[in-house]
Amino acid sequence: MSGQSVGVQYAILFDVTRCTGCRACQIACKSWWDLPADETSFNPGWANPPDLTPYTWVLVKYFEEMTGSGLQLRFPQVRCMHCDDPACVHACPVGAITKYSEGPVVIDEDKCIGCKYCIDACPFDVPRYDAATDKVYKCNMCVDRVSAGMEPACVETCPSDALQFGPRNDMLEKANARASAMGGGYVYGEKEAGGTSVFIVTDRPPEEYGYPSVAPQLPELIDVEDYTKLGGSVVGLAVVGFLAGLSFVASRREKLAKGKGGGGGEEEKKGGDGK
């Protein structure tokens, strides 16, 4: 991956207080990646579609509350957080997921076997499986654009400056400054899961906007691909529960089940660079 400054990690900043809910980011993402429309319907949260899908990688949700000054509207954005040490990378048994030193976490569709271990491992509940293709999909931070020195499509199209893109240290500094200016705001993604390349600035606890509570440090993960190369079987991993210390994955599966009911840098971690 090239185009951005060599050795620099980049990040996306999203400020929930600046988002107008126009969904231009959703449209830009679908347009750039030629993603099909999702069948949807009216729902209590007014999100369209109601949740991330294999072909909706960026989603704007709707939050309203009556305050002393009247009706307050907020539009939280949901997407891959591009973790610094992604659980999905460790979980993939075929090395189909790459963490680039510049920030993006990318699934190589050609290598993906549809095992869904990455879905179980993700603490943010982001990857989505498509039974029609037997593949898993998610936001890739427009790795092609970033490698060419461009901003991600969603950032470039945002009319309210709610989305920004730049060196991670700069974005983190800006995120903390905005949170401080709010008189007690929050920066989601700074410490969650050990740190990410997406910072979400909120004016109230992120969980109140639907963002999952994620510990600063996840259980130590074993690379499933390395384990299988040593002679272990993928099926054996699933049975014994070796995947993320396996109480972690077991709890993730239980939590998900309940929820469903209601530029490549030189330093890369296993995987390829497909869409």
Contact 1, 9 (CB under 8 A): no
The DSSP output letter for 198 is: E
List of residues 6+ apart from 44 with CB closer than 8 A: none
Q: Which residues are annotated as a binding site?
A: 19, 22, 25, 29, 80, 83, 88, 92, 112, 115, 118, 122, 139, 142, 154, 158
Contact status, residue 109 vs residue 119, Cβ threshold 8 Å: no
Q: Quick one: pLDDT at residue 6?
A: 57
Structure tokens at 159: 């009319």
Q: Tell whether the model's pLDDT for residue 244 goes beyond 50.
A: no
Q: Is the pTM of this model over 0.85?
A: no
Taking only the tens place, the pLDDT of each residue in 130-146 is: 999 999 999 999 999 99
Tally of residues, the chain? 275
Q: Into which CATH architecture does domain 14-209 fall?
A: 2-Layer Sandwich (3.30)
> Which residue numbers belong to the known binding site for [4Fe-4S] cluster?
19, 22, 25, 29, 80, 83, 88, 92, 112, 115, 118, 122, 139, 142, 154, 158
For strands 10-15 and 198-202, give the pairing: parallel
Q: Any idea which residue has 């990040």 for tokens?
A: 11
Neighbours of 273 (CB within 10 A): 17
With a cut of 80, say whether residue 17 has pLDDT above it.
Answer: yes
Average pLDDT, the chain: 85
pLDDT band at 243 (very low <50, low <70, confident <90, very high): very low
Q: Where are the domains of the chain?
A: 14-209, 223-255
pLDDT of 269 > 60? The answer is no
Of 129, 157, 187, the C-alpha closest to 60 is 157
Q: Cα–Cα distance between 220 and 214 in angstroms, integer? A: 15
Q: How far apart (Å, rounded) are the C-alpha atoms in residues 101 and 218?
A: 20
Residue type, 146: V
For residues 201 and 18, what is the distance between their CA atoms, to the nearest angstrom? 10
- The string of pLDDT tens digits covering residues 184-236 is 999 999 999 999 999 999 999 999 999 999 999 877 665 666 545 545 544 44
- DSSP letter at 94 equals T
Give which of 53, 73, 19, 47 is closest to 200, Cα–Cα.
19
pLDDT band of residue 251 (cuts 50, 70, 90) is low
Residues in Cβ contact with 170 at an 8 Å cutoff, skipping those fewer than 6 apart: none
Closest residue by Cα to residue 75 from 58, 56, 95 = 58
48: tokens are: 């369209």
Burial of 123 (0-12, 13-18, 19+ CB in 10 A): buried
Instruction: Indicate the helix (H) or strand (E) that contains 72.
Output: strand 70-74
95 near 267, Cβ under 8 Å?
no
Give the pLDDT of residue 88: 97
